[in-house]
Structures are given as structure tokens and as C-alpha cells.
Amino acid sequence: MPELILKDGLVLTPDFQTVKADIAIEGNRIVSVGEVREKAERLLDARGKLILPGLVNAHTHLAMTLLRGYAEDLPLKRWLEEKIWPLERRLKPKHVYAGALLGCLEMIKSGTTCFADMYFHMEEVARAVEESGLRASLSYGIIELGDPDRRKAEIRKGEDLLRKRGAAGGRIEVMFGPHAPYTCSDDCLMEIKELAEKHDVGIHIHLSETLEEVQECIKRTGKPPILHLKEIGFLTPRILASHCVHCEKEEINALAAAGVKVAHNPTSNLKLASGVAPVREFLDAGIEVALGTDGPASNNALDMFWEMKLCALAQKWRKEDPSCLKVREILKMATVGGARALGMKDVGTIEPGKKADLILVDLKAPHLTPSHDICSNLVYSARGSDVHTVIVDGRILMEGRKVLTLQEEEVMERARRAAEELVEDVAS
């Protein structure tokens, strides 16, 4: 007998069409999609709602919710060096836990069921994931700056996080997280590549985010970052490369040939004036593209619906072609494309055998009426606040906009206190 049946909903199929159907869930898996005549322990009325795969945020720094609104109107280098890094040096585990828990709450409320996170004190992020019920791929952000002693310590922290792999009932995966080619030496990157192969895990890295980064790499190595990484043998299908804003054709071909996945972060790239990534060219080259929000300090939200819309608008502007990126391509990036980028093969679509990571969007809203094309409405009209119900691993995390796994006021108050303490410490 199924534990949960979603009854009479409109279901988004793997080819991004819609059908009226029921969904039966046993344990953490979808067992059938269609007419379900069986009884279940719990019946959830899905009439008037669209059931789609949970959204995947393929790149963020979750605990930076505490820095939301703290550093504004600056380019990336000054943003990091003058505002973010001085504050991050004072981060304690309790701060990261408070910020990560707030981020989990925000993502549940806006329909994200899975995310890739790179930051510090990652055991605290894992703790927040376990308590919230979400799914995640976590990586410790390794910054060694060419110092061999620091390299050893930083890589050890990345390895230590591997103990969390499979935690939270299997909802936590782990990657290595070298921050970027400008904060990690070639020797560090190649050591990480060997360790990723040894442990059979992915590598999450920032790459070619700003023009300044690219120019500095050319000055240092004679090549832009992507071609330099190709030359040293670092590129591999294990890599999830975040940003890739500044890429010429040769670099795009190098990413495609190596099987690198790209996490596109339109809001953060525009807010920091980093540029607009060549997403159309990535897709045409056969690169798996996912969507991310980046951290809440450079976004300043975790709403993947907004990210989908801005992705579409920015590409149309960049190409001067309103037809250059279709809504179903964008939905793919935000769902199954994100799952594939994170190496998760059993989430991202609604079909029997897949894990039950689902969200229900309430279609009864003025801004979602009429509905000539539901996929278009999802990308251009929907908001995170339209998410009615969230299910991860077969467990209901939110129903009727009420989060069941976290105490919302307590989470927000904890985060407020942590943020105030951080800012006071810096000011002093």
C-alpha cells in the first residue's frame, strides 16, 4: 500500500508536457503516475495544482543569508576583499548553522528541494540539511593561496567532510570544493582531482566569473582559466563549474569535450556586473547547464523561479533574439539538468522509480491566469510564494505554505541574532 497518494493533480512529465494524473509514493520513491485506485495511508488533494519535480539550486553559499544586504553596489573583487572576506574570517560554526537553517527555510518556502553548497564549517550545513529534510551536495570551500602548509590543512577539511556522505538518510552527497583557480594553485587543483577520483566524488569550483579574473590568469599563465585548466589536465566530467561568464568558443569546446557541467547564476552575475554567460552556446555545444542563485549576499534571495525568468531575459538580451532560449530548456536547467550536474540520477523528473522530490504549485492565482502554456507561466509568471506543498524523499516538508520540519520564527530569530553578532564583531 502506498504511504502517500497525490490525487487529481496536473503533472509535469519528463518531456515537459502536462497530464492529469495521480502519483503514488512508497517510502522515498514514486511507484506510479497515472490513475491510482489503491488506498493509501495519506491522500493529498492536488486539484488546481501543478506537480513538478523539486527545483535544484546548483550553486549557492547558503549561510550567506546572514550577509544579505550587507555588501552592496560593488564589483566582485572589492565585494570580496573589502566586505565579505573580513566578515567571513569571524564566522563560527554557530553562525553557519543559523544562516544555513534560514537558507533551508527559504528554499523550502520557494520550492527548492536540492542544492549544491560550498562554504565553511560544512558540518553545520549538513546539520541544517538533516533537520530541514532537504537534499544537498556539500563541499568545503578550499582556499590555499599557493601555501603548501595551508594546502594540506584545507584539503584535509575537504576530506573530512566526506564523512557526511550518505548522511541524513542518504540525502547528503559530498564534493570537493576548490574555490577558484585564482585562490588555489595548480598543484592544489591537481591533488584535488586525484582525491576526487579516489573517492569517486565531484568537484565544485568557481570558474571564469569576471573579466578581471580572466585577464589576470592570461597575464600569469598565458591562457584564460579554462584553457589553462585544460593544459594542466584538470578538466574532467566530475567538475561542476559555477559561472563561466567569460568564455570564448575554444573554451566552450574545451568544457564540452571534458564533460564539465556548468552552473549558471544570472542574478548574481548581473548584480556584481560580472556579465552574462553564453548559455545558448553552452547548450549548443552539448554542455549540461544547471541554474543556481549563488549566495544570498550577491543575489539577494534563493528563489529559483526568479532565477529562471532572469535567465531567459538575460539570454534574449545578450543574443538580441527573443527565441534563443525556450521555456522548456530553462525548466530543464532548474530540474533534471541541475540533478545531473550534481551527479544525482534518481531525482529531477516525475516517473516511477525516481525519488519522490516534488513540489505542488497553486495555479489559482491572478498572475497565473489564464494558462495557455503552463511551462511559460512557470518561467515568466510564477513566484516562489506560489509553492503550496514540498515533498522530499517521500516526506512532506511543507503543506499549505506551512513548513512542517522547522519552526519558522525560531529559525529567523536565530539568524537575526547571528547576523547582528557578526556585524558587531567586524565593527569592533
Could you tell me the three cell numbers for 193? Answer: 582531482
365 assigned to some structural domain: yes
For a pLDDT cut of 70, what percent of the chain falls above it?
A: 99
Confidence band of 190 (pLDDT split at 50, 70, 90): very high
Express each pLDDT in 22-35 by its tens digit. 999 999 999 999 99
36 assigned to some structural domain: yes
409 assigned to some structural domain: no
363 assigned to some structural domain: yes
What is the reported pTM?
0.97
**Counted domains in the chain:** 1
Could you tell me the three cell numbers for 80? Answer: 570580496
What pLDDT was estimated at residue 39? 87
If you average pLDDT over residues 63-90, what whole number do you get? 90
Q: How far apart are the first and last CA of the chain?
A: 60
Q: How far apart are CA 224 and CA 312, in angstroms?
A: 27
Range of the domain at 369: 4-53+347-403
Express each pLDDT in 115-135 by its tens digit. 999 999 999 999 999 999 999
Confidence band of 426 (pLDDT split at 50, 70, 90): low
10 assigned to some structural domain: yes
Exposed/middle/buried for residue 18 (C-beta within 10 Å: 0-12, 13-18, 19+): middle
What pLDDT was estimated at residue 162? 98
139 assigned to some structural domain: no
List CB contacts of 77: < 8 A, sequence separation 6 or more.
Answer: 210, 212
289 assigned to some structural domain: no
Beta strands in 317-357, from DSSP E residues, in sequence order = none
Express each pLDDT in 343-402 by its tens digit. 999 999 999 999 999 999 999 999 999 999 999 999 999 999 999 999 999 999 999 999
Per-residue b/e over 27-36, b at no fewer than 16 CB within 10 Å?
ebebbbbeeb
What pLDDT was estimated at residue 75? 87
CATH number for 362: 2.30.40.10
What pLDDT was estimated at residue 280? 98
357 assigned to some structural domain: yes
Confidence band of 1 (pLDDT split at 50, 70, 90): confident
Give the Å distances, CA to CA, from 113 to 81, 277, 283: 32, 25, 24
Helix (H, G, I), strand (E, B) or coil at 134: coil
Asked if residue 141 lies in contact with residue 120, where contact means CB atoms within 8 angstroms, the answer is yes
